[in-house]
Each structure stands twice: as structure tokens, then as C-alpha cells.
Amino acid sequence: MFRPLALALALAATTACSLPAQARDIVALGVVDRDNGQTLPDYPYRGQRWIAGTPGHRYAVRLTNTTGERVLVVLSVDGVNAVSGQTAAPSQAGYVLGPWESTEIAGWRKSLDDIAQFVFTDLPDSYAARTGRPANVGVVGIAVFREYQPPRPQYSPSLSVQEQARDSMAKAAAPAPPAASGNGQMRAAAAEAMPQRIGTGHGQREWAPVGQTTFQRMSTRPEQVSQLRYDDAHALVAMGILPRPYRGYAGNTPRAFPQGFVPDPR
């Protein structure tokens, strides 16, 4: 039975605490070429992940919730919120995924019933450029929030005076945690300086209904921020992200069977 994806407006968070980094992504991010059905492979380069888009092809952003709880995903395409059309910020509206749910967002949200398709296009024809915001063309990103859960009451037996004293002494004698190593910092995430070739256009309308729901964020800060950079294959080859294809020289490349039959010698 078809169940439309839920859409949540930006709601106030319960706390502004900073949450610890996760060992794995809460939401897996990928891109699917809708014209050939292939999931576009991503290539690591200088601390970022890149995909090669084909101009004229429609695409969808695949989001997969890897947890057993609801999460809110704010989707940014070319620096623009894919739901509201605002210059993207984590505090804005987004999509709510149920536990273990996977979905594909195939366009700019036009209403609760339809979208304008995402399509790889020349940069001047991208939606961001046409609305005067070309600075962040070439990136798809998500900000992920967990849902606030009311705290459960905690019950523990009271300690005697002697036990409290022993506990305080043990804490005082415990060694201090080691200082964080700088080796875990992210590498520089700058690509070679060259003009962006393609962006995401505002394609044809398509029926894609969603519902609405409420969602209370656990924090004002997202637990996960992920992004995929993209450009066409020629640009990725020029930057060294993709290998340069081999091109033989016509007339100079030996061929095992240049003709079908044995000719007479001259």
C-alpha cells in the first residue's frame, strides 16, 4: 500500500546541546540517475565525495534512515532548500523518515502533491542561478536531526556516607582523558579551482504527494551534515577525480584484422 512521505516544517528544538559524533551516518545519502536507473558511484577527492552527472538526465536524491527511530532530513540542492526554496539552513523545513525507511526525493517541492524534477543542466539554466544564487551550485547536502524523546525517570538506591566518600576518592584518582589528536581533523575540502559546468534545473512537474507531521528536534544543531559534490564527467577528469579515457589514434593503431581476405601482393 502506498504511504506518502511525511513533510515537517521547522519546529523549535528542545535544547541547544552539541551531540557526539556518530560512528556511522544516521542517514545514508546517494544520487540515482532516473534516466538509466543507476546509482551514481561517488569518488573521494581531497576530503569530499564527488559524482558525475550527465547533462539532461533527471536524478533523485536517495535517503536511507539507518536507525530504528524517526529522523528529520533537511535537503539542500545547490545551496537551496528543496522544500521551501529558501537559501538553505539546517533550521528549515525537511522530510521525516520513519525507522529504517528509504526514499527518493526527485525534485523541488511545489506543493503537497507535486514536484519540479531535478535535472542536470548547464549552470546558467540551474534553478539556483536563475534565482540569483549561483555561488553554491554543484552540491547536494543533508542536515539530519534526531527526534526528541521525553526523559524516562531514573531510580537509584541512595549511597551511604562511606560509599559516597569512596566514590569521590575514586573519581579524584582517575586519570584524565588523553587530549584529542589532531590527526582526526578533516582534510582540506577544496577542489581544483575551475568553473562549475553543470547545476540542477527546475524540470517538468511530477506527481509526488507527501503528508504533513510534527517533529520535535532533539537539538538545534544537526547530528549529521553530509554532502555530495557533483559536476559532469569532463570536469571530474580535468580535476583528476576520474581517470582520463584512452583514445587511440586513427590510422596509427595496429589492427589484427584490417581486411576480410588476403589481397594479392604488389
pLDDT tens figures, 40-55: 999 999 999 999 999 9
The C-alpha cell of 200 is what? 540542477
- For residue 9, name the pLDDT band (cuts at 50, 70, 90): low
The per-residue pLDDT for 266 is 65
Instruction: Go through 26-48 and write b for each residue having 16 or more CB atoms within 10 A of its CB, e for each that does not.
Output: bbebbbbbbeeeeebebeebeeb
pLDDT beyond 80 at 241: yes
Q: CA Rg, the chain, in Å? A: 26
Q: What is the pLDDT of residue 181?
A: 44
Q: Cα separation of 141 and 243, whole Å?
A: 25
Residue 159 has pLDDT above 70, yes or no: no
The pLDDT score that the predictor gives to residue 68 is 96
Q: What is the pLDDT of residue 154?
A: 75
Beta bridge partners of 115: 109, 206
Mean pLDDT of all residues in the chain? 81
Binning pLDDT at 50, 70 and 90, where does residue 151 land? confident
The pLDDT score that the predictor gives to residue 5 is: 67
Q: How confident is the model at residue 150 (pLDDT cuts 50, 70, 90)?
A: confident
Taking residues 13-22, report their average pLDDT: 38
Mean pLDDT confidence for 130-148: 96
More confident residue, 16 or 97: 97
Which residues share a beta bridge with 8?
Answer: 94
- State the pLDDT at residue 152: 80
**Band of residue 261 on the pLDDT scale cut at 50, 70, 90:** low
List the single range of 56-60, 130-134, 171-175, 185-189 with lowest mean pLDDT: 185-189
Position 213 pLDDT exceeds 80: yes
Output the pLDDT for position 189.
Answer: 40
> Residue 58: which pLDDT band, with cuts at 50, 70 and 90?
very high
Q: What is the 3-state secondary structure (H, E, C) of the chain?
A: CCCCEEEECCCCCCCCCCCCCCCCCCEEEEEEECCCCCECCCEEECCEEEEEECCCCEEEEEEEECCCCCEEEEEEECCEECCCCCECCCCCCEEEECCCCEEEECEEECCCCEEEEEEEEEHHHCHHHHCCCHHHCCEEEEEEEEECCCCCCCCCCCCCHHHHHHHHHHHHHCCCCCCCCHHHCCCCCCCCCCCCCEEEEEEEEEECCEEECCCCECCCCCCEEEEEEEEEHHHHHHCCCCCCCCCCCCCCCCCCCCCCCCCCCC
